[in-house]
């Protein structure tokens, strides 16, 4: 059964240009998924704080809020069989230094950032994706 999930190409990724964005989207398409919606957004601090509220109080939270609000991002609604699981595998480990080669977070890591910043967000379940989508488009 097809499911939907959310991917956000973060501001650092969008800033790297259309070629990088196109390559990222192509990874999902090559895995047999469909991009059914694309939304260009400039997220504000309130949205990001709500979006990542489960991380509030952690040492990286304020850096994450800042990184997500420095510029526009691209939200992708992706649909396909086992979309959540496939997207998470394509994205790789959250920390690019721990991500496997040929994953988005490894292949598009910014070695100069000096931290665990990554270029994409992927929902961890279709239920979470629905909640995240509502926060993003409110």
Number of H helices, E strands in the chain: 7, 4
| Blockwise average pLDDT, block size 10, the chain, 138 residues | 93 94 98 97 95 92 93 97 97 91 92 67 93 89
- Residue 111: predicted pLDDT: 60
In this structure, what CATH number is given to the domain that contains residue 46? 3.30.70.141
Both structure tokens of 138:
């409110």
Task: State how far the Cα of 84 lies from the Cα of 55, in Å rounded to an integer.
Answer: 20
- Residue 114: predicted pLDDT: 47
119 contacts 104 by C-beta, under 8 angstroms: yes
Q: How many domains does the chain have?
A: 1
Q: What angle do CA 45, 84, 125 make, to 5 degrees?
A: 60
- Residue 118: predicted pLDDT: 86
Task: State how far the Cα of 87 lies from the Cα of 126, in Å rounded to an integer.
Answer: 11
Per the structure, the complete domain to which residue 61 belongs is given by 2-137
Pick the catalytic residue from 6, 76, 121, 133. Answer: 121
**Is 55 tagged catalytic?**
no
- Residue 138: predicted pLDDT: 74
């Amino acid at each position: 059964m097809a499911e939907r999930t959310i991917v956000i190409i973060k501001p650092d990724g969008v800033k790297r240009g259309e070629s990088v964005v196109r390559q990222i989207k192509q990874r999902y398409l090559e895995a047999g998924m469909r991009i059914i919606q694309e939304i260009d957004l400039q997220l504000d601090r309130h949205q990001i704080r709500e979006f990542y509220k489960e991380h509030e109080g952690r040492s990286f939270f304020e850096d994450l809020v800042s990184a997500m609000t420095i510029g526009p991002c691209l939200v992708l609604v992706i649909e396909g069989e086992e979309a959540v699981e496939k997207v998470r595998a394509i994205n790789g480990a959250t920390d690019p230094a721990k991500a496997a080669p040929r994953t988005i977070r490894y292949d598009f890591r910014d070695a100069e950032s000096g931290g665990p910043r990554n270029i994409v967000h992927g929902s961890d379940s279709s239920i979470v994706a629905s909640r995240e989508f509502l926060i993003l488009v409110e």
